[in-house]
């Protein structure tokens, strides 16, 4: 019986390897792994490790490794279908029904895979022959030896329309099978023979997640070739959006308990992956000529929670990184993210490793930034930020990015991080210098009271400004831009202001209960309750219950002007300095006059608000 990839993924997602393997091996947790004595050898020191996150076991004493299915096959002598059936029963999964047509397709695909293996043998032999001399010289110029070519299965497709066809047909292959496998191109003119798809190209084998050779990537030797790299077409056995170059080898490498990586390294091309593997980064993969797809991201997350996407440090590399951000945001889950490593401008991993070696690459990987930082960079660099309108546009873009995140908890935490960063750079910050200096002990009690009274006046105005917005959120339609300029002496008010404005910018609604819920969810419930306790005073200061919107706006603007000050910042500092001089001179009357003069002039048509 054949089991589809989706079924196998679901089975492995429901089964923890440590639970199954723990019935045969006494396991003890060691950090992220479980350790125990090898069931395959007679040892006294544990060298057998199980990693639930990566879904693998590895035995150093015997060299065996695999997943929970292969473990049961090893220790219980079960066949593959028997092991799967046993695990499916434990997981409560119904086995897929036998599909005769699917069985026929599987048999046909198996034949195609066998001829793909035969094609690789032909390509590797061709590389070693005279016809492959230029290809060998090119590989040598890229730092690859003959041993490297064998290790990575690199070959050469001769500059011929029939060399591969003739070789495989002679071995018994049928033309229609070779066409289905993507090795030959069928002409529109049926009277003509199919011809080789790959000609005069260095050939790189591509394996599916199960390790089967299903496609090739070919690099052209001609400088003026229309396509520098050419991959096999989509076939019954090859779907480029669901596979990654060298994924089986990378999965084996990252399953090694001694590998501390939290995910695979994703480079942009075959040569980058090969260079990384040569320098010890065996857990490197590459997409197949396209931006990362959802299926490829899911493949990456199966082997680690935080793969590192490695891009060239130029504008094209940054654009590719931003495309990956766009694709990843809807797929984010707790413990499932990405990091981004940008190389020095003009270099790729192959260049960097050959020029400066492994330490330079390690530094690049260590400096990899989290996905949330790339979201911020993408939106900041999308447009200028020189005007208030530009900054409002940035905020809109941040909220648009947040809407792409489907998982509620992840989205909320991204929102907190991004909006806080926006506020720190372009929004609301409490200014420490809005607090008056504390009078020194030499000041007489009367002067201390005067200074405290000045602070009390400011605090009262702050409470009225914020309390009015909480009582009548519809004021936001008219005053939200003014609020951007207000600074508060109380940091909790600054945080509350940021919460209110972020809610308003996101929803543009004035529903009071929803606003209060938003504030409480952001941890500002105590500040909200404190202001609501002064509700009656706030209503009285804003004209009472009978005041209309225009009257409340006029009164609110008067309070806001008092906080913003009709003077420039240097005039305010000068006034404070003069007040301090009056205190030092023991001139209480002069201090009172300065305090009265510092109060803003109100509209004479509006009843002044008592201090």
Asked if residue 519 and residue 475 are part of one domain, the reply reads: yes
User: What local confidence, expressed as pLDDT, does residue 443 receive?
Assistant: 46
User: What local confidence, expressed as pLDDT, does residue 439 receive?
Assistant: 46
Q: What is the 3-state secondary structure (H, E, C) of 55-69?
A: CEEEECCCCCEECHH
Asked if residue 128 and residue 30 are part of one domain, the reply reads: no
The DSSP call for residue 89 is H
Closest CA to 152 of 267, 238, 275: 275
Asked if residue 591 and residue 452 are part of one domain, the reply reads: yes
- Which tens digits make up the pLDDT trace of 9-66? 788 888 889 999 999 999 998 877 899 999 988 888 898 999 887 888 999 888 888 8
Boundaries of domain holding 464: 432-598
- pLDDT surpassing 60 at residue 342: yes
Does residue 83 fall inside a structural domain?
yes
Task: Give the angle 289-293-295 at the CA atoms, nearest 5°.
Answer: 120
Does residue 391 fall inside a structural domain?
no
Does residue 387 fall inside a structural domain?
no
Count: domains in the chain: 4
Q: Which of 27, 61, 91 is the last residue of a domain?
A: 91
User: Any idea which of 281-295, 394-408, 502-516, 548-562 has the lowest mean pLDDT?
Assistant: 502-516
User: What local confidence, expressed as pLDDT, does residue 567 receive?
Assistant: 35
Does residue 417 fall inside a structural domain?
no
Asked if residue 74 and residue 9 are part of one domain, the reply reads: yes
Residue 52 belongs to domain with CATH number: 3.90.580.10
- Which tens digits make up the pLDDT trace of 386-445? 998 999 999 999 999 999 999 999 999 999 999 999 988 887 554 444 454 544 444 444
Highest mean pLDDT among 291-300, 340-349, 529-538: 291-300
Mean pLDDT of the chain, nearest integer: 84
Asked if residue 477 and residue 351 are part of one domain, the reply reads: no
Does residue 418 fall inside a structural domain?
no
CA distance 326 to 349: 23
- Which tens digits make up the pLDDT trace of 138-158? 999 999 999 999 999 999 999
* Residues in a beta bridge with 213: 207
Q: Which of 238, 258, 273 is the last residue of a domain?
A: 238
Closest CA to 464 of 386, 563, 391: 563
CA distance 400 to 394: 10
Query: Is the CB of residue 477 less than 8 Å from the CB of residue 510?
Result: yes
CA distance 106 to 552: 76
Closest CA to 347 of 335, 329, 360: 360
CA atoms within 13 A on the CB side of 316: 6
CA distance 449 to 606: 30
Phi/psi of residue 295, nearest 5 degrees: -60, -40
Asked if residue 307 and residue 224 are part of one domain, the reply reads: no
- Per DSSP, the chain holds a count of helices (H) and strands (E) of 27, 16
CA distance 383 to 365: 29
Does residue 228 fall inside a structural domain?
yes
Start-to-end Cα distance in the chain: 85
Strands (E), 78-236: 155-157, 184-185, 195-196, 201-207, 213-220, 229-231
Residue 260 belongs to domain with CATH number: 3.40.1360.10
Cα torsion for 383, 387, 391, 396, to the nearest 10°? Answer: -70
Residue 229 belongs to domain with CATH number: 3.90.980.10
Asked if residue 191 and residue 133 are part of one domain, the reply reads: yes
Does residue 414 fall inside a structural domain?
no
* Torsion sign (Cα): 125, 129, 131, 134: positive
Asked if residue 146 and residue 104 are part of one domain, the reply reads: yes
CA distance 141 to 237: 34
- Which tens digits make up the pLDDT trace of 519-541? 887 888 888 888 888 888 888 88
- Higher-pLDDT residue of 300, 492: 300
User: What local confidence, expressed as pLDDT, does residue 610 receive?
Assistant: 41
- pLDDT surpassing 50 at residue 362: yes
Asked if residue 456 and residue 569 are part of one domain, the reply reads: yes
Asked if residue 159 and residue 213 are part of one domain, the reply reads: yes
pTM for this prediction = 0.62
- Which tens digits make up the pLDDT trace of 72-105? 988 888 888 888 989 998 888 888 876 777 778 8
Phi/psi of residue 64, nearest 5 degrees: -85, 145
User: What local confidence, expressed as pLDDT, does residue 444 receive?
Assistant: 42
pLDDT mean over 291-296: 91
CB count in 10 Å sphere of residue 367: 11
Which residue do the tokens 């909200």 mark? 528
* Residues in a beta bridge with 219: 202, 229
Asked if residue 370 and residue 290 are part of one domain, the reply reads: yes
412-451 burial, b if ≥16 CB within 10 A, otherwise e?
eebbeebbebbbeebbbebeeeeeeeebeeebeeebeebb
User: What local confidence, expressed as pLDDT, does residue 188 receive?
Assistant: 87
pLDDT mean over 369-382: 95
CA distance 414 to 402: 7
User: What local confidence, expressed as pLDDT, does residue 162 receive?
Assistant: 95
Residue-wise DSSP of 458-488:
HHHHHHHHHHHHHH-GGGHHHHHHHHHH---
- pLDDT surpassing 90 at residue 163: yes
Q: Which of 238, 265, 286 is the last residue of a domain?
A: 238
CA distance 320 to 339: 14
Does residue 22 fall inside a structural domain?
yes
Asked if residue 190 and residue 49 are part of one domain, the reply reads: no
- Which tens digits make up the pLDDT trace of 75-84? 888 888 888 9
Strands (E), 15-134: 28-30, 33-36, 48-51, 56-59, 65-66
């Amino acid at each position: 019986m054949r089991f589809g990839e989706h079924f196998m993924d679901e089975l492995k997602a429901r089964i923890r390897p440590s639970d199954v393997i723990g019935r045969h091996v006494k396991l003890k947790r060691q950090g992220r792994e479980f350790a125990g004595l090898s069931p395959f050898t007679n040892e006294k020191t544990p060298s057998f490790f199980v990693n639930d996150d990566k879904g693998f076991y590895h035995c150093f004493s015997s060299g065996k490794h695999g997943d929970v299915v292969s473990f049961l096959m090893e220790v219980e002598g079960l066949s593959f279908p028997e092991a799967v059936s046993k695990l499916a029963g434990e997981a409560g999964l119904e086995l897929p029904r036998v599909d005769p047509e699917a069985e026929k397709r599987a048999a046909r695909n198996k034949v195609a895979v066998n001829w793909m293996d035969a094609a690789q043998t032909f390509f590797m032999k061709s590389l070693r022959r005279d016809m492959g001399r230029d290809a060998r010289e090119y590989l040598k110029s890229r730092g690859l030896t003959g041993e490297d070519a064998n290790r990575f299965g690199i070959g050469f497709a001769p500059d011929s329309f029939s060399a591969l066809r003739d070789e495989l047909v002679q071995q018994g292959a049928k033309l229609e099978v070779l066409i289905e496998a993507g090795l030959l191109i069928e002409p529109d003119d049926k009277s003509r023979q199919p011809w080789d798809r790959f000609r005069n190209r260095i050939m790189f084998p591509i394996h599916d997640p199960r390790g089967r050779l299903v496609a090739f990537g070919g690099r052209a030797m001609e400088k003026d070739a229309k396509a520098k790299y050419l991959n096999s077409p989509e076939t019954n056995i090859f779907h480029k959006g669901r596979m990654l170059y060298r994924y089986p080898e990378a999965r084996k490498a990252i399953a090694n308990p001694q590998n501390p990586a939290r995910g695979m390294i994703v480079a942009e091309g075959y040569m980058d992956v090969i260079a990384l593997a040569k320098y010890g980064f065996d857990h490197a993969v590459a997409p197949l000529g396209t931006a990362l797809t959802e299926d490829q991201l899911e493949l990456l997350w199966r082997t680690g929670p935080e793969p590192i996407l490695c891009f060239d440090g130029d504008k094209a590399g940054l654009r590719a990184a931003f495309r990956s951000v766009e694709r990843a945001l809807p797929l984010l889950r707790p413990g499932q993210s990405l990091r981004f490593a940008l190389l020095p401008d003009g270099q790729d991993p192959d260049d960097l490793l050959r020029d400066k070696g492994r330490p330079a690459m390690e530094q690049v990987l260590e400096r990899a930034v989290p996905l949330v930082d790339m979201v911020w960079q993408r939106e900041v660099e999308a447009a200028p930020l020189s005007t208030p309108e530009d900054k409002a546009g940035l905020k809109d873009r941040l909220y648009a990015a947040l809407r792409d995140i489907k998982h509620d908890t992840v989205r909320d935490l991204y929102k907190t991080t991004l909006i806080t960063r926006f506020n720190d750079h372009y929004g609301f910050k409490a200014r420490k210098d809005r607090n008056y200096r504390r009078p020194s002990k030499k000041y007489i009690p009367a002067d201390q009271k005067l200074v405290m009274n000045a602070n009390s006046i400011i605090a009262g105005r702050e409470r009225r400004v914020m309390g009015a917005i909480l009582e009548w959120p519809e004021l936001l339609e008219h005053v939200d831009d003014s609020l951007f300029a207000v600074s508060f002496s109380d940091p909790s008010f600054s945080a509350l202001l940021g919460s209110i404005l972020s809610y308003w910018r996101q929803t543009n609604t004035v529903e009071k209960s929803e606003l209060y819920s938003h504030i409480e969810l952001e941890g500002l419930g105590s500040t909200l309750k404190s202001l609501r306790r002064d509700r009656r005073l706030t209503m009285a200061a804003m004209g009472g219950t009978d005041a209309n919107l225009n009257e409340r706006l006029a009164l609110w603007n008067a309070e806001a002007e008092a906080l913003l000050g009709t003077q420039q910042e240097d005039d305010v500092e000068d006034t404070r300095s003069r007040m301090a001089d009056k205190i030092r001179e023991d001139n209480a009357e002069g201090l009172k006059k300065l305090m009265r003069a510092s109060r803003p002039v109100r509209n004479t048509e509006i009843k002044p608000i008592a201090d």
